[in-house]
Structure 1
């Protein structure tokens, strides 16, 4: 069976061999890199080749320069960095291709044609559309957030987010925040009394979202790029459906309404940040445990760094893996970072 390698993450075999050598041998100086390469390979690296290998390892995030020389980055952190590089590269290529191909404009044109053809229907009127049923509403929200590029404005009149709604929202919110879209969210005051909701709000805040708490009644709104807005057909029974409008006048009025509610709301309280709860956020000790999954190659090392018994360390790791819904330590570290826990 072929040994697993890093080629699929953009690392050439020579650089991977050097990295594995660093993991086996430890810290190298610049001159020791050439000596060790010569000892561990059949061919002889020149000084220039060794210098190039030294630089490539640091650029790839596989090693770091320290006062004592070149030191290997922990495998979990190194692989995560390589994954992020490939994802960023692929995302950049795809977004550039999408922009140059004008595919979004083409799709929106088809959508506009559909609205125009259906203008005689009772549920569609010009730039305003009635969407019935929660499944259709969710599909509309998915589409709106996918095309959002500059700003997302949302409100939650109840202030309480169930685990199911958070699970669905996390995918959409992460998509928006990853693109550096300016997200502002208004939450009703009951959010302050719900640990699950607060933990998710702090998770969003750690990723760049602006969140405020309102003690005044809120109207349910979703506004994207100030050109499309979604409101419930019946605020008292949101399951009936929603009204989607792209009418500039209506959207502008709804933006003004949001701004008035936003200006009268209060900042998300910072005092609760970092408090551990059963539902979500982690305390300082748990954060250290999660961070050690990157830096400590063995449980024994992680336990020693935290000053606890190995058995206790493994117990905490297992509990955090279960909370995150991960299948292994590496995935747990990735999910913890994605949620802003570390």
Structure 2
């Protein structure tokens, strides 16, 4: 293809050809794609699924509609940035640079103790900037588990906009994420929409029946709690002291067990024979085009663990004995 193309965003070649065709036509079904691109029906369906999987088009009732060019390029840029970020984070974890830097700080605290200065195991954070920096560091380096509890429940639009990239980054890495919120969340549409979004990406969410303590615990190794349980604006305590962190984890587990599961969106409960929607529909399409779970998860911007959870759900609903039967049975039911 001559002139500017999408190769540098890893979406050139056949995918770009199909997307440009959709832009010219304004939309097309798989038969139209096959006719214009000179493909078999199965090949056209696979091409269309790749275009949808990359976020360049939407699919409804068998018709593909192109996403506006500006939005399409934005999604490709975000996808490539996410992959680069994941690679850098993996290298950070592999080389042990964070542990090395923490060793430097520990050595400094030990030296401070020897000369008579304080070196407390719990750090007091009073400014918003310091608290935010601590949160960013905690979530950036989380590798296994992220636990959060929000007593108030209602999340402001500013809080959501700041938290979304951090939460999605954690979920893409396959980190087990749990979020516990106060009951006021149930009455706030913005908060509930974000909680359903998190749940769709693999986060476990519960709504507390009783008051809960504000906290964030990462990898059961570091925790952040409020200085004043009644007023989060007064600062926070950051601790890596194993005994204190273990106590906070135990408290979190008790609060979690006493909470209720996140209610499903109105009308969202699906019967086993219902047509899949949302991420599950995208996973179904990805099963036809991606040869490995890792590739399918990467294309959809979700973790491999979450991807496999949706695959297992589809297999159960279709009574398929393996994932290769899923696409065949889904086509027989008219799902694809």
TM-score, L = length of structure 1: 0.59
Alignment of 1:1-342 (within 5 A): 3-10=3-10, 27-28=33-34, 61=50, 74=66, 86-87=80-81, 89-91=83-85, 93-119=87-113, 121=117, 124-125=119-120, 127-270=121-264, 272=266
| C-alpha distance in structure 1 between counterparts of 2:265 and 2:20, whole Å | 45
Deviations 1:265-323 (A, max 9, x none): 11111254769xxxxxxxxxxx99xx9xxxxxxxxxxxxxxxxxxxxxxxxxxxxxxxx
In structure 1, stretches of 5+ residues that fail to align are 34-53, 65-70, 276-286, 292-333, 336-342
Deviations 1:145-177 (A, max 9, x none): 111111111111112222222222223212211
* Larger Rg, first or second structure (1 or 2): 1
Say if 1:205 and 1:20 are closer, same or farther in 2 by CA, change over 3 A. Answer: closer
Cα distance, 1:118 vs structure 2: 4.8
| C-alpha distance in structure 2 between counterparts of 1:106 and 1:160, whole Å | 38
Cα distance, 1:134 vs structure 2: 2.1
Deviations 1:114-162 (A, max 9, x none): 444455555x41x321111222111111111111111111111112222
Say if 1:75 and 1:153 are closer, same or farther in 2 by CA, change over 3 A. Answer: closer
In structure 2, stretches of 5+ residues that fail to align are 26-31, 54-62, 270-276, 282-299, 302-336
Contact kept? 1:186, 1:214, Cα under 8 Å: yes
CA RMSD between the two structures: 4.2
| C-alpha distance in structure 2 between counterparts of 1:150 and 1:186, whole Å | 18
Say if 1:72 and 1:236 are closer, same or farther in 2 by CA, change over 3 A. Answer: closer
Contact kept? 2:48, 2:64, Cα under 8 Å: no
| C-alpha distance in structure 2 between counterparts of 1:193 and 1:177, whole Å | 26
Contact kept? 2:146, 2:216, Cα under 8 Å: yes
